[in-house]
Chain A
Amino acid sequence: MPLTEKITEQHLEENMATFVGLLRQEGLPVGTTEMIDALLALQKIDLSSRGAFKTALQATLVKNRRDRLVFDRLFDLFFVPAELHRHRAEETILQQEELTRRLEQANLELQFKGEALELSMGELQQYSLLSAEQRSRLQDFVQKTESGNNIEPQFRPILEMIVKSHLRYCRGQDELKSRGGPAAGGAGSGGDGNDYLREIDIEMIAASDLPAAELLLQRLSRKLAVRILRRRRIGPRSGPLDLRRSMRDNMRFGGIIFNLKHKPKRRSKQQILLLCDLSASMKRYSTFVIHFLHGLHEVVRDLSCFSFSDSLEDLTAELKGHTNIKQLLDRVIRRSKTWGGGTDIGSALYLLSEKHPDRVNAKTTVIVVSDTKTVALEKAVKELKRLKDRVRRVIWLNPLPDGRWSDYRSVGLVADQVEMWPCSTIDQLEEVLAGRL
């Protein structure tokens, strides 16, 4: 609806309510207070200026830089200049027909066991907007999944989830491209433009997006380091008595000591031992976890890093002091004897305990990144049990979607021994580590 018409018809409040409703549908936390503020702000500006109108709404309704993308998109769609509005009305009819045809086509192309996947109109539309190559890749993925071994009809929701997640990812990329990409936001760009990568399965992130994903990991790990440091400083009072603060605090009672004040307890930084599966299916996940944990070096006193596949390799020394992790990991991967080979978790755990006993002690938190697929499963479980008794904690990060864990015996056996968390997306990785370090 054209902006000028809205104002003359004095339907501003109704239109604002509709617009706010749309923002809410897209997940923006816009409350009644914000809407009232927006209406008050509109009374203070020159409504004939589209720029001023947009700024007023932006300042009052959007309180987060990430939400700006959504706001901009909806604003451009909702508040359309009059001429463009008429032109669009004519186009809409044609587009509607084209859209109906495309959605029908999409429903035919995305089928599992003879039935169309349950996708929303928006998702089907996103699919129809993909390039022929992208569409064919997604069709291939669905078909391969359908023709795999032991595929039950119950697998449908998981497949739908993966397809939806991929379509969301594509939408995020489109939005970014339409605004010139993350680096195009002036000389600055605070760096929040790659947040759409957070929910994508790490394995599905396109190679062209990997640098952006690495930056995102760096940013998140720095934030997490700050949070962990703060949480520790605020922690419970159990340090030595702080006489000066106690005296000062009890002055109000005439010097009689009612309240004792303590100095904060000194806490030693954690020792973390990272054990990464570098087999072919796991290398992307492992790389991401190493990236993330390396960024936490301020809170992690001693980060040891081992890679394993059929044997164990110590990467600790090489990780220290390196600023360009990607470069380092590429080098390690090139010369690694184990990269891309089969996986023997049992041997790796045995070698870790035998060859590096100094790194495995009661202060160590061991983080294992693996999908639990291994040869000699019983040996692996036995070694894991032995390791668990020697260290402070073992956290197992499993990139398999948790809905599929029950399909694998190895997952069940490992999960009986240690705590296991899904880590297939950057969001999950952050959540697990933030809660447990």
Chain B
Amino acid sequence: MTMPLAKLRKYFEQVGYICDENTVLTVYLALDLQKPLLIEGAPGVGKTEMGKVLAEILQTDLIRLQCYEGLDETKALYEWNYQRQLLRIQMNRALEQEQINEEDLFSDQYLLERPLLKAIRCEKTAVLLIDEIDKCDPEFEAFLFEVLSDFQVSIPELGTIPAKQIPVVVLTSNNERELSDGLKRRCLYLYLDFPDVEKEVRIIRAKVPGIAERLAWETARVVALLRRQQDLRKKPSIAETLDWARALVSLNRSRLDGKMVADTLNLLLKTRADQQLFRQEIGVEGIERALSQSGNDGEINGCR
């Protein structure tokens, strides 16, 4: 599915997915070259969102395959509807009808489509989101090769089914384990990092209507400060930043202070260890200091 680069950039802005030129260009190339796009990055940087956004931009269906250990082709590709097949056999026997053919039993009406087959057989180009590919087993990863390189699947009883329309494939990985070279070779690669403060402010303002500009800046500054703590078990994601910003808006806040951050910390840091670390390493004073520094730098005041 091709689309001019400028148009794609504009669509990203329209749907509120704030990203840099590097990201837009890589997505453009993936669409134009009809190659799967493998996105890696820390949890919560907008990898899954990319699949959703692409479906929205291309005005097509999003078919999602959530990966987990033990995922196999019966859950990802197809399964025969055994209950229905059995019923058919029993009915034939009970009604003493003539013998049924094997072809009848293994036909389309007994086939249960799973996400991969659904994407391949879709009449209109669909967006296939294979989420958290690093969580599935290496065997399943190898099984995906056929879909990702030839856009076709093989079902023993039916033969090879080529894609009616080549789907837009987005794979995401949290980098929990190294993916195979074979899989990577078939994909274009994009690494998404956490946004810098300025970009995060744009995201907050796009997704949280009604937020005061100063509050948006302060929120982004505090989140960036937390993310700089290398010892955190889980750094706050963009989604958590947005939840926090929404919470602050609903509390009628127009600016932040250290106490407010400490009181609402559980929206950002979700383990006891991380909260302890915050109290030890940053604390209310640290937040106050960071907020006053950013105010002095003119970063906040300058944009009011």
Residues of A within 8 A of B (CB): 29, 31, 33-34, 37, 40-41, 44-45, 51-52, 55-56, 58-60, 62-65, 68, 182-183, 185-191, 211, 215, 223, 226-227, 230, 233-234, 248, 251-252, 254-255, 323-324
Asked whether A183 lies within 8 Å of B230 as measured between CB atoms, the reply is yes
The complex places the Cα of A234 from the Cα of B136 at a distance, in Å, of 11
Which one of B22, B193, B277 lies within 8 Å of A186 (CB-CB)?
B193
Asked whether B230 lies within 8 Å of A63 as measured between CB atoms, the reply is no
Asked whether B29 lies within 8 Å of A215 as measured between CB atoms, the reply is no
Q: Mark B13-55, 1 if CB is under 8 A from A, else 0.
A: 0000000011001101110110100101110010000000000
Asked whether A251 lies within 8 Å of B86 as measured between CB atoms, the reply is yes
Asked whether B185 lies within 8 Å of A187 as measured between CB atoms, the reply is no
Asked whether A190 lies within 8 Å of B137 as measured between CB atoms, the reply is no
Asked whether A37 lies within 8 Å of B188 as measured between CB atoms, the reply is yes
With CB as the reference atom, state the residue of chain A lying closest to B31. Answer: A44
Known contacts A63-B189, A186-B196, A234-B70; 17 further A-B pairs (Cβ under 8 A): A33-B186, A45-B5, A58-B22, A59-B30, A59-B190, A63-B187, A183-B230, A186-B194, A187-B195, A187-B200, A188-B193, A190-B41, A190-B42, A215-B231, A234-B137, A251-B85, A252-B80
Chain A residues within 8 Å of B32, by CB: 44
Which one of A51, A64, A223 lies within 8 Å of B184 (CB-CB)?
A64
**What would be 12 A-B contacts, judged by CB atoms less than 8 Å apart?**
A33-B186, A41-B188, A44-B33, A59-B189, A63-B185, A63-B187, A65-B175, A186-B195, A187-B194, A188-B193, A233-B69, A234-B69
Chain B residues within 8 Å of A58, by CB: 22, 26, 189
What 8 A-B pairs have minimum CB-CB distances, sorted nearest first? A188-B194, A251-B82, A63-B184, A187-B224, A188-B193, A59-B26, A63-B189, A323-B273
Q: A34-B185, A190-B41, A190-B193 are in contact. Are A252 and B85 (CB under 8 A)?
A: yes
Asked whether A52 lies within 8 Å of B25 as measured between CB atoms, the reply is yes
Which one of B30, B40, B181, B235 lies within 8 Å of A188 (CB-CB)?
B235
Number of interface residues of B (CB under 8 A): 54
Asked whether B188 lies within 8 Å of A60 as measured between CB atoms, the reply is yes
**In this assembly, does B177 line the interface, its C-beta being within 8 Å of a C-beta of chain A?**
yes
**In this assembly, does B276 line the interface, its C-beta being within 8 Å of a C-beta of chain A?**
yes
Asked whether A254 lies within 8 Å of B230 as measured between CB atoms, the reply is no
Asked whether A44 lies within 8 Å of B28 as measured between CB atoms, the reply is yes
Asked whether B83 lies within 8 Å of A251 as measured between CB atoms, the reply is yes
Which one of A60, A65, A254 lies within 8 Å of B40 (CB-CB)?
A65
The complex places the Cα of A211 from the Cα of B176 at a distance, in Å, of 22
Q: A63-B184, A63-B185, A63-B189 are in contact. Are A55 and B177 (CB under 8 A)?
A: no
Asked whether A62 lies within 8 Å of B175 as measured between CB atoms, the reply is no
**In this assembly, does B191 line the interface, its C-beta being within 8 Å of a C-beta of chain A?**
yes
**In this assembly, does B227 line the interface, its C-beta being within 8 Å of a C-beta of chain A?**
yes
Asked whether A44 lies within 8 Å of B29 as measured between CB atoms, the reply is yes
Chain B residues within 8 Å of A211, by CB: 230
Chain A residues within 8 Å of B175, by CB: 65, 190
